[in-house]
Structure 1
Amino acid sequence: MRNVHSDVDEGDVPVGSEQAGAWQNPVEHLGALTDLATPFAVRVAATLGVAEQLAAGVQDLDALAIAVGADAGALGRLLRYLTHRDVFTEDKEGFFDLTDTGRLLIARGDDGQRNWLDLEGLGGRMDLAYTGLLHSIRTGEAAYATVYGASLWQELDADADSRRYFDDLMLSQQLRTAPQVADLYDWQQVSAVVDIGGGSGGLLAEVLLRHPHLRGVLVDLPNAPGVARRTFAERGVQDRAEIVAGNFFEQLPAGSDVYVVSRALSDWPDQAASTILRRCGDAAGAEGRILIVEVLPTDPQVPYATAFDLQMLVTVGGRERTLADFEALAATAGLAVTRTLRGADGLVLLECACGSS
């Protein structure tokens, strides 16, 4: 899982950058770091769909308030606050419009952020799990259940809308990652591949599409097959893709050449992540390979320079890791890293084989 709307959250000052010394006044710096009004104001505007209405030409405050179902006076205060932060503009006649930043609050398009920022959707709920950060820091555990009464995984199993949003989010990430995975790795030496926790099937579908000699198996929980089956059909690889209901903490289908674990280990603490890799190693045996696919948000990687590390902690109890961390994690599972391949935008592939623990 990846926070896709930004690698640097509101108020972040990148470690080691010139911006670190940009604040001459410590009081102003602390104020920027602790501001809650701006993040919530942006999310409320996104939730109401203000940007869509402005883009459609509804720019008068009273008409806009009716269109989004808000109190006109309160909405005006919100819009003017965000106008001073270059999200919206207001002309002399009192008509509002979008800045380039404001256009990102429109749901459609590759850069659309509304669905993630919507406080009534899963993206907003995941962000609001930060209210449990104190619990996570005190215990080292996820706080999502302390905020909402159930873990994120339990919520996804229980709520179809949340599951649909999460599957779409994962598929969008897979579609950006999959072409590189299909190109970087030497698939010509492989005949059968298993995608562990493959979810929506985007990665496996791309690999099979690019390499027609391959056959693949997607292993995920019982609620995943519907989306994956549709993905395989849309990409025309359904005849070479099998879906198996399973749990990557338990026994996996044995005997394939390569077992892919793509962007899943960051969702789990070390002990659980090690178990996932050990199950892959058990299934791969001495002749098979395990391919860890991850995206490192900075290069050279500084895990604590972005919000992703804390988001993984508070939401699911996971963590960001360096390449050295992944190598150490593989060793705890009885695996040894045999090759490291680097792609664009922080993508890294670590090929592992059964070795001594």
Structure 2
Amino acid sequence: MTSEDDPIWETLLGLSRFASLSTMAELGCADHLADGPLTVAELAGRCGAHAPSLRRVLRHLASFGIVERTAEDAFVLTRHGARLRGGVPGSQRAAVRMLGEHAFWTALGSVPETVRRGRSVFVERFGPLYNYLAANPDSGRIFDDYMVARSLAVIEGLPRCYDFSGVGTLIDVAGGRGHMLASVLRAHPEMRGVLFDLPSVVPVARECLSAEGVAERTRFVEGDFFDAVPEGGDVYLLASVIHNWDDADATRVLGSVRRAMGSRARLLVLEYVLPDDDSPHLGKDVDIRMLALFGEGTERTHSEYGTLLGKAGLAVSRVVDLPGQAALIEAVPV
């Protein structure tokens, strides 16, 4: 049987390939192979792995170009496999580790039950995602690294793709560690920023923005965006926030921002904006993860965002494409 032109078979093969990638990422094989080829026994010793089992995984990885055999029982990284090293530009190790993390893997495998019952199995078994990550700091660190790696192209592309000239104050609502805000502030030395997030998040953001060299131009505000957000911004940013919530809660968040906005302020919603037709889009794959992890969180189409923003007293003025099929929805008060 061949996978050529067969999306079902190709997907089935993909599960096995991911299992091998996950093994390589979790054991840190790419880091150990960074300086050149190793025999299976040498690599197993460094990884703390069972050599015969590792040999089978490496043989599989070699079949789709992640490692390459250099001798009868030795392997070396390919350029693709090098992206599974940690701490290197373009690393995908955290992404692979996060999707292979026990609770995440359970969530994806439980999508049929989530769809049957209309409730996320992940939430029922492990609790809300961010509570789970807080209670499991190792997973939380992997998740943070994954989010930064996943967003790197968008972080770097945001100040290039959107014209922030003339903006005095940018308020990053639920700004997390502040990477988006830092990218814009570095590109616009005259701008000042406000990072608004939960009390547990702000100290980490302060450290990150200090490391980025922009903390002196940033005001840090603690709070809950369901209650209120800081006033006085020329531009408000909601990056990867709205997709975490169903329409009712998303409207509450947008309503809080709208109440804080002046008549000439702008809101930027950074999300995947799905096409209204059935054409392929990365956001549709991400949406299934949202279904698994949040249940009610969802990616939305252009028209769905228009409707959602309208309920909060905002109107879409334009949509700007960003790297990685992400998009920036600009909205203004009505």
Per the shorter chain, which TM-score range? 0.7 to 0.9
Once the two structures are overlaid, the 10-residue window that deviates more, 229-238 or 123-132, is 123-132
Deviation at 1:281, TM superposition (A): 0.6
2:291 maps to which residue? 313
Match of 2:188 in 1: 211
Which residue, out of 309, 324, 327, partners 2:303? 324
Residues 101 and 128 of structure 1, relative CA distance in 2, 3 Å threshold: farther
The DSSP-based 3-state class of the residue aligned with 2:110 is helix
Partner of 2:120: 142
Which residue number in structure 2 is paired with residue 245 of structure 1? 222
Q: Does 1:155 align with 2:132?
A: yes
Q: How far does the alpha carbon of each residue in 1:297-329 deviate from its partner, in whole angstroms, 9 at most, with x for none?
A: 889964587421101111123222222221121
Q: Give the whole-Å Cα distance in 1 for the aligned partners of 2:129 and 2:44.
A: 33
**Alignment-derived partner of residue 60 in structure 2:** 81
The residue number in structure 2 matching 1:15 is none
Offset of residue 72 of structure 1: 1.8
SS of structure 1 residue aligned to 2:257: helix
Separation in 2 of the partners of 1:156 and 1:280? 26
Matched, 1:281 2:242: no
2:84 corresponding residue in structure 1: 105
Which position in structure 1 is the counterpart of 2:317?
A: 338
Aligned-partner Cα distance in 1 for 2:149–2:57: 31
Q: Work out the CA distance in 1 between the residues paired with 2:318 and 2:65.
A: 46
Q: How does 1:194-273 map to 2 (within 5 A)?
A: 194-273=171-250
Distance 1:92 1:350, change over 3 A: closer
1:277 deviation in Å? Answer: 0.9
Report the residue type matching 2:220 in the other structure. I
1:84 to 1:354, Cα distance in 2 relative to 1, 3 A: same
1:37 to 8, 11, 16: 16
Of all paired residues, the percent bearing the same amino acid is 31
Alignment of 1:111-126 (within 5 A): 111-118=90-97, 125-126=103-104
Q: How does 1:183-202 map to 2 (within 5 A)?
A: 183-202=160-179
Report deviation, 1:334.
2.1
- 1:120-142 CA deviation, whole Å, 9 max, x = no partner? x9856434420221232124443
Distance change (3 Å), C-alpha of 1:112 and 1:297: farther
Q: CA deviation at 1:237?
A: 2.2
The count of aligned residue pairs is 329
Q: Which amino acid aligns with 1:102?
A: G
* Superposed displacement of residue 292, structure 1: 1.3
The aligned counterpart of 1:46 is 25
Give the Cα–Cα distance (whole angstroms) in 1 for the partners of residues 242 and 174 of structure 2.
Answer: 10
Report the Cα offset of residue 195 of structure 1.
0.7
1:5 is matched with none
Q: Distance in 1 between matches of 2:69 and 2:100?
A: 31
| Contact 1:303/1:309 (<8 A) preserved | no
| SS, match of residue 33 in structure 2 | helix
In structure 2, the CA distance between the partners of 1:216 and 1:343, relative to structure 1 (3 Å rule), is: same
Amino acid at match of 1:38: R
Q: Normalized against structure 1, the TM-score is what?
A: 0.80
8 Å Cα contact 2:276-2:301 kept in structure 1: no
Runs of 4+ in structure 1 deviating by more than 6 angstroms, as ranges, are: 297-301
C-alpha distance in structure 1 between counterparts of 2:160 and 2:60, whole Å: 47
Query: How many angstroms apart in 2 are the aligned matches of 1:275 and 1:345?
Result: 28
Please tell me whether the aligned partners of residues 259 and 291 of structure 1 are also in contact (alpha carbons under 8 angstroms): yes
Decide which moves more: 215-224 or 106-115: 106-115
Query: Which residue among 116, 119, 132 is the counterpart of 2:110?
Result: 132
Structure 2 unaligned regions, length at least 5: none
Query: Who is 1:69 aligned against?
Result: 48
Alignment-mate amino acid for residue 49 of structure 1: G
In the aligned structure 1, how far is the partner of 2:282 from the partner of 2:333?
Answer: 31
* Amino acid aligned to 2:252: T
Distance 1:88 1:344, change over 3 A: closer
The 1-side partners of 2:156 and 2:87 are apart by 23
Q: Are 2:251 and 2:311, in contact at CA under 8 Å, matched by a contact in 1?
A: yes
Instruction: Report if aligned partners of 1:299, 1:346 keep a CA contact under 8 Å in 2.
Output: no
**Could you tell me how far 1:154 is from its partner in structure 2?**
0.6
Asked if the contact 1:167/1:199 (under 8 Å) is kept, the reply is no
Query: Does the residue aligned with 2:64 lie in a helix, a strand or coil?
Result: coil
Kindly state the Cα deviation for residue 241 of structure 1 after the two structures are TM-superposed. Answer: 0.7
SS at 1:319 equivalent = coil
| TM-score (normalised: structure 2) | 0.85
Partner Cα separation in structure 2 for residue 103 and residue 187 of structure 1: 36
Structure 2 counterpart of 1:199, one-letter code: G
